[in-house]
């Protein structure tokens, strides 16, 4: 009989420990998701600033390219016109040269003076033709160079336009992502504010008995001093503390989408009791567990939402070694964190 009871006890203890580990992991995941979302939002905003600067630079570069392109087009048009005019003049000079050659043939039998004069004119025409040919060749090279520059500038402009379009798309995607993150965070923060107000109103009568309700980092913190919950060295909840916890449970049972972490804290005075408690670690854990059990027994909170944790003396509110500081450090904190499933989906979609 004793052996069977012992087995049942250890099986129950194992189930409780397993449930606590699962709840603790879920709680830490929720906290991590919010921190990750805040970091992601800050990173995306920084990237958007860089993208906007890059977009502005690309826009300015494209404007400059278009200005250069227009200038090249005008230069190319002028060169083409000059080349056409030179080609016409060149053709006319060739005609003149041909006529001079023809006249030269006719005058070969004429007097020497006419022949000399015609020969001189022919030489001048040949020189003029050669000069025009050289000029025309230079213009052809310049025109080919300008047309090459024009093609390169068009290609660069097309590349810049594609890059600019890509940056704009990235900017749109990141802006939407920021908007989605901020929307979820805003909804969660609004829900946290409403929850904090509901809790504060429910526990209004305990405000002067060592109970405070705060909202920070997207969570609600309900802090209860030892005097409200326990006698010194005990982990049995006092009637006054039970009354406060019952009222808190009635609010929390309407919030299935929150995680509830109960943390026990002690001062740095070594535990002097006996029995099942060895030190302040044990005492802080037992106190947190007592509150979790009371919340489960007196409300319809889903146990999977609850996590019990002991922090012993290692997370003090006041590090001074005074009576007042020690009293402040002996407390229980109930930390309520909204579940961030929407944020997980957004972050996983990165």
Instruction: Please tell me the predicted confidence (pLDDT) of residue 211.
Output: 94
d(CA 302, CA 311) in angstroms, rounded, equals: 24
Tokens of 116: 């000399």
* Cα four-point dihedral sign 193, 197, 199, 200: positive
Q: 3-state class of 220 per DSSP?
A: strand
Query: Residue 289: how many CB atoms within 10 A of its CB?
Result: 19
Q: 3-state class of 303 per DSSP?
A: helix
d(CA 286, CA 308) in angstroms, rounded, equals: 9
Give me the average pLDDT of each 10-residue run along the chain (350 residues). 43 44 59 69 72 71 70 70 72 70 62 72 78 80 81 84 84 81 80 90 89 91 95 93 96 92 95 82 95 96 95 94 94 89 57
Tokens of 18: 């397993």
Q: Which residues pair with 171 in a beta bridge?
A: none
Which domains, ranges and CATH numbers included, belong to the chain?
47-185 (1.10.287.1700), 192-348 (3.30.1330.60)
The reported pTM is 0.58
Instruction: Please tell me the predicted confidence (pLDDT) of residue 144.
Output: 82
Instruction: Please tell me the predicted confidence (pLDDT) of residue 101.
Output: 65
Instruction: Please tell me the predicted confidence (pLDDT) of residue 111.
Output: 64
Q: Which residues of 307-327 are buried (b: 16+ CB within 10 A; e: fewer)?
A: bbbbbbbeebeeeeeeeeebe
d(CA 208, CA 216) in angstroms, rounded, equals: 21
d(CA 337, CA 257) in angstroms, rounded, equals: 9
Q: 3-state class of 212 per DSSP?
A: strand
Instruction: Please tell me the predicted confidence (pLDDT) of residue 296.
Output: 96
Nearest CA to 335 out of 248, 254, 242 is that of: 248
Nearest CA to 19 out of 7, 11, 9, 31 is that of: 11
Instruction: Please tell me the predicted confidence (pLDDT) of residue 328.
Output: 93
Instruction: Please tell me the predicted confidence (pLDDT) of residue 17.
Output: 43
- Alpha helices by DSSP H, listed for the chain, are 2-107, 112-202, 226-229, 239-252, 280-298, 323-329, 341-348
Instruction: Please tell me the predicted confidence (pLDDT) of residue 56.
Output: 72
* Burial (CB count within 10 angstroms: exposed 0-12, middle 13-18, buried 19+), residue 168: middle
């Amino acid at each position: 009989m004793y052996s069977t009871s012992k087995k049942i006890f250890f099986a129950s203890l194992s189930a409780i420990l397993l449930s606590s580990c699962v709840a603790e992991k879920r709680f830490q995941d929720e906290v991590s998701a919010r921190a990750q979302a805040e970091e992601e939002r800050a990173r995306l905003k920084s990237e958007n600033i860089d993208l906007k600067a890059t977009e502005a630079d690309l826009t300015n570069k494209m404007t400059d390219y278009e200005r250069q392109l227009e200038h090249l087009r005008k230069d190319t048009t002028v060169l083409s016109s000059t080349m056409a005019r030179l080609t016409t003049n060149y053709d006319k000079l060739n005609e003149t040269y041909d006529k001079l050659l023809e006249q030269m043939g006719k005058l070969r039998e004429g007097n020497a003076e006419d022949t000399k004069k015609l020969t001189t004119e022919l030489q001048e025409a040949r020189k003029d033709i050669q000069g025009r040919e050289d000029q025309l060749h230079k213009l052809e090279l310049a025109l080919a160079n300008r047309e090459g520059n024009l093609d390169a500038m068009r290609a660069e402009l097309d590349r810049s336009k594609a890059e600019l379009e890509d940056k704009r798309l990235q900017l749109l995607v990141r802006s939407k992502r920021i908007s989605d993150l901020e929307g979820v965070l805003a909804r969660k923060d609004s829900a946290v504010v409403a929850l904090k107000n509901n809790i504060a109103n429910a526990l209004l009568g305990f405000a002067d008995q060592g109970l405070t309700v705060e909202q920070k980092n997207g969570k609600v913190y309900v802090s209860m001093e030892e005097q409200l919950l326990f006698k010194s060295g005990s982990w049995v909840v006092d009637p006054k503390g039970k009354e406060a916890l019952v009222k808190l449970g009635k609010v929390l049972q309407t919030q299935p989408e929150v995680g509830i972490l109960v943390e026990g804290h002690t001062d740095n005075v070594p535990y002097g009791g006996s029995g099942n408690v060895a030190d302040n670690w044990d005492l802080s854990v037992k106190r947190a567990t007592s509150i979790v059990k009371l919340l489960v027994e007196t409300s319809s909170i889903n146990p999977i939402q609850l996590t019990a944790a002991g922090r012993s003396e290692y997370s003090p509110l006041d590090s001074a070694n005074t009576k007042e500081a020690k009293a402040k450090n002996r407390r229980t904190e109930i930390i309520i964190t909204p579940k961030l499933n929407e944020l997980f989906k957004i972050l996983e979609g990165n």
